[in-house]
Amino acid sequence: MKIADVRHILDTIGGMFPDAHCELNHSNAIELTIAVLLSAQCTDATVNKVTVDLFQKYKTPLDYISVPLEELEGDIRRIGLYRNKAKHIQSLCSILIEQYGGEIPQAHDLLITLPGVGRKTANVVVSNAFGVPAIAVDTHVERVAKRLGLSGWKDSVLIVEKKLMKAVPRDEWTLTHHRLIFFGRYHCKAQNPKCQVCPLLDVCREGKKRMKTSLIRKDNDQAPKVKN
């Protein structure tokens, strides 16, 4: 894609969501890491409902490993896959205490070695907690990137990330990540995207396809019915 086309996409989405930000409530790097870990296959809204009480009860990594696993499971029971996530949280916190003085490591390559922390989580943490430019590719970012032609339909998540990093100026990586999420979450939704009012319809492969299908259906519905 041409630089001018990428700029058009970024500026348009930026105009729609100038204040896009991380919607997971947190006050430090540990809370952010745990919140992102919990958000896998779960909405940010649900995570925020759980962490309101969770972050009041557990302030440090030591707090998380000082309770029975079953108790932590109960505290996050409303989260999908809560049993595995509770295990990951306690394992992660043990490592933080043993190897990192109870703090979240700032290096990306160290973060991805922690239990329950994949590349996406690490990118969110380094960018939001430590100010390191990064593009985390979640389902919203992946969907939007593919629909707008910023990546290929069959590209893996890692390839999508690399293509976005190449296309977007480095100092805009983090903000672009947030804006793409907002665009995908509130406008270019998976099931009911707002194609009819989308300012990027001219460059959206999915949008053009959907609008064409919609017009065909409309024409068919308006066609005179032939009586037998």
Catalytic residue among 5, 57, 87, 120: 120
162 among known catalytic residues: no
With beta carbons less than 8 A apart as the criterion, state whether 37 and 54 touch: no
The closest of 223, 198, 219, 218 to 208, measured between CA atoms, is 198
Q: Is 184 left (phi over 0), alpha (psi -120 to 50) or beta?
A: alpha
Vertex 22, ends 89 and 109: CA angle to 5°? Answer: 50
Vertex 48, ends 108 and 124: CA angle to 5°? Answer: 15
- Report the alpha-carbon distance of residue 22 to residue 4 in Å, rounded: 27
- Report the alpha-carbon distance of residue 207 to residue 182 in Å, rounded: 17
**Cα-flanking dihedrals φ and ψ of residue 24, to 5°?**
-85, 120
With beta carbons less than 8 A apart as the criterion, state whether 136 and 127 touch: yes
- Report the alpha-carbon distance of residue 132 to residue 125 in Å, rounded: 9
Catalytic residue among 75, 85, 138, 163: 138
189 among known catalytic residues: no
Catalytic sites, residue numbers: 120, 138
